[in-house]
Amino acid sequence: MSVELKDSETLKNLMRAFAGESQARNRYTFAAGVCRQQGLQVLEAVFLFTAGQEKEHAEIFYNHMKEAAGGTVHIDGGYPVDLTRDAAQLLRRAQHNELEEADTVYPAFAATAREEGFAAVAASFEKIAAIEAAHGGRFDRYAQLLEAGELFVSQARCGWMCLNCGHIYEGLQVPEACPVCHHGQGFFIRLEMAPWGGVSLGK
C-alpha cells in the first residue's frame, strides 16, 4: 500500500510524536528545575541532557512533515501529567513514558509508516524507539540509586566527580560540599557515570 503523506495515518503519527517529544522536553526541563531546587544538581543534569535529545527527536519528526508545510494537522492523543515534586517519582514517571514510547508507541508508528510506504519515517521511529529505551534505562538507574539512598553514598569505596569544578573525590560518601569549589553534594556524580569519561582515580 502506498499513500500520499497528506492522506496518511503516518502524518498524524508524526504530529503525535512531535507533540510527545516537545512535551517530554518541557516536562524534563521542569523536572530539572525541581531537582535543582532540592539540591540534586546531578539529576538536574540528567533531565536537561535528556531534554536536549527530545528536542532533536522533535525536529527529526517535524522535518518528515515537509510535504504538509503550510497546512495544519489535526490529531487526538493522550499525554501524561507528571506533576510532582518527588524526584524519585519524576524519574520513575519519565522511565515509564520512555519505555511506553520504546516498546509500544513508536514500534506501532513504524509499522504503519512501513505499510503506507514511508520507509525513511519508519526507520526514524525505530531508531528513536531504541534511544528512548536507553533513556528509560538511564532514568531507572538514577531512580534506583535515589530510592536506595545511594546517590551520594556507596557500599564500596569509589570515585565521584563534582560536576561544577571537576574535582574527583574518593570515598564511601561524598562530602556535604565540594572541598574545592564549595558547591553542594548534589553536584557529585559517580565517576563511572560521569560525562565524557577519560578520568580515573589517581593512584
Smallest distance, Å, CB 83 to Fe ion?
19
When asked if residue 54 is in the footprint of Fe ion (CB under 5 A), the reply is: yes
Smallest distance, Fe ion to C-beta of residue 143, A:
15
Q: Is 25 in the site for Fe ion (CB under 5 A)?
A: no
Please give the Cα distance from 47 to 82 (Å, whole number). 14
CB 159 within 8 A of CB 190: yes
Enter the C-alpha cell of residue 48.
536537561
For residues 194 and 192, give the distance between their C-alpha atoms in angstroms, rounded to a whole number: 6
d(CA 25, CA 41) in angstroms, rounded, equals: 18
Min. distance of Cβ 81 from Fe ion in angstroms?
18
Residues 67-126 contacting Fe ion, CB under 5 A: 98
Q: Which three cell numbers stand for residue 151?
A: 546517590
Kindly state whether residue 57 participates in binding Fe ion, applying the rule CB under 5 A. yes
- How near is the Cβ of 84 to Fe ion at its closest, in Å? 19
Choose between 113 and 162: whose C-beta lies nearer to Fe ion: 113
Complex with Fe ion: residue 97 or 185, whichever CB lies closer: 97
> Contact region for Fe ion (CB under 5 A) — 59-67, 134-142, 143-151, 161-169?
134-142
Q: Which is nearer to Fe ion, 99 or 177 (CB)?
A: 99
Residues 6+ apart with CB under 8 A from 101: 20, 128, 129, 132
The DSSP-derived string for 95-131 is HHHHHHIIIIIHHHHHHHHHHTT-HHHHHHHHHHHHH
- Find the shortest distance in angstroms from Cβ 28 to Fe ion: 8
Looking at beta carbons only, is 116 or 132 nearer to Fe ion?
Answer: 132
In the region spanning residues 135 to 154, those forming contacts with Fe ion, defined by CB under 5 A, are: 135
Q: Which of 47, 42, 38, 32 is nearest to 160 (CA)?
A: 42
Q: Could you list the residues that contact Fe ion (CB under 5 A)?
A: 21, 54, 57, 98, 132, 135
